[in-house]
Amino acid sequence: MRKPDVIIAGGGIIGLMTGWMLARAGVGVTVIDAGAPAATLAAAGMLSPSFENALHGGGGALAAFSQESLRRWREIAPELMEVSGVDLDFDAGGILAVAFDDFEAAAFAADAGGGDYLDRAEALAFEPSLSSSVRAAWFAKNDGQVDPRRARKALERALIHDGGALIRGKRVAGVARYVGNVAGVILDNGERLSARHVVIAAGARVDGVANLPKGAVFPVKGEALAIARVAGAPKRVIRTGKAYLCPKADGRIVIGASEIKDDWSLNPDERRIGALHACAMAAVPALEDAPEIERWAGLRPATKDGAPVIGPAPEGPDGLFYALGHYRNGVLLAPATADAVAAFIQRGRLSPSIAAFSAARFT
């Protein structure tokens, strides 16, 4: 293990991807994870820039950053699998968005940018598991998915394989300073660890470790469930306006997800899980009797404008960097985020791709 030049607070997909990128470039890096429930383990793992950008109007800088990150996933997935020995269940085979009313169908027909428009007959031929009440579909052929639980495991292994360190079960309570510079971190047991750079990648739990205006990053609870992948199941990810279904290699179909702002609880609500299930069954009726395997909830780290916070801490100290607030798309955005952090730490270069994501926009 090299002497840490960089300490990363948070071992979710953002902290670990960043840690691995730095370690494989020969930088001494330690990732410290508090062991709090990570949103990463709750995610469906869709890598869906086309659909997310169209749906949520995240134009401009975020749309470009999302596409770049998807491109990087395609590049790094084979290497990550090889180094870690973990099969990521990486699938770059496209995502199908389906419309069940004329309004949605008209929207697909009007703007198929980034995807192929399919009329009702074409949609049913393309994905026979769909309900016959489908009106139209939109196939984003470049989008895909990964299993985020496997990705986290793979990144932990790859980080260590490439010379980084991982400390589990300890919380970073604060950033240590020397004059105007970062000196390291203070753990909640009072222990101090030194480093020249500290990256805060703590997901939704940023209070105390990031010097951000109150409420700049807040939780949006998401509930999901998984059912068994039975005969007649869809071959690819299907998204409707109200739910999505992600078939996984381990035999699950992940169905998600609700959005509840500022709710820190982690218990899935019976009624909302039932509603998600009903929406998914309306799209793919053959799954009606598929047994439920599990249900869960996670906390998306959200920001007011829906864009992440990536960049040096505007108020200092020098050496403090934020990689936070990835909201609905942290799995997708992890490689591009890690690239940007690594470029800054290794070469002092602030990538133009993250200029719009500075925490300065909140002050």
CB of 119 to ligand FAD, least distance (A): 27
Total Cβ atoms within 10 A of residue 100: 19
Interatomic CA distance for residues 346 and 6, integer angstroms: 10
CB of 254 to ligand FAD, least distance (A): 8
CB of 162 to ligand FAD, least distance (A): 19
CB of 46 or CB of 54, closer to ligand FAD = 46
The gap from C-alpha 134 to its chain's centroid, in whole angstroms, comes to: 29
CB of 105 or CB of 254, closer to ligand FAD = 254
In single-letter form, the type of residue at position 262 comes to D
CB of 214 to ligand FAD, least distance (A): 17
DSSP letter (8 states) at residue 141: T
CB of 332 to ligand FAD, least distance (A): 4
CB of 11 or CB of 312, closer to ligand FAD = 11
CB of 25 or CB of 41, closer to ligand FAD = 41
Strands 29-33 and 165-168: parallel
Which residues are near ligand FAD by CB under 6 A?
A: 9-15, 32-36, 38-40, 42-46, 171-172, 201-203, 205, 209, 222, 224, 256-257, 298, 300-301, 326-332
Those residues with Cβ within 8 angstroms of residue 129's Cβ, 6 or more apart along the chain or in another chain: 232, 233, 234, 235, 238, 284, 286
Interatomic CA distance for residues 12 and 43, integer angstroms: 11
Residue count (the chain): 363
CB of 34 or CB of 283, closer to ligand FAD = 34
CB of 31 to ligand FAD, least distance (A): 9
Those residues with Cβ within 8 angstroms of residue 302's Cβ, 6 or more apart along the chain or in another chain: 204, 217, 218, 219, 220, 261, 325, 327
CB of 99 or CB of 243, closer to ligand FAD = 243
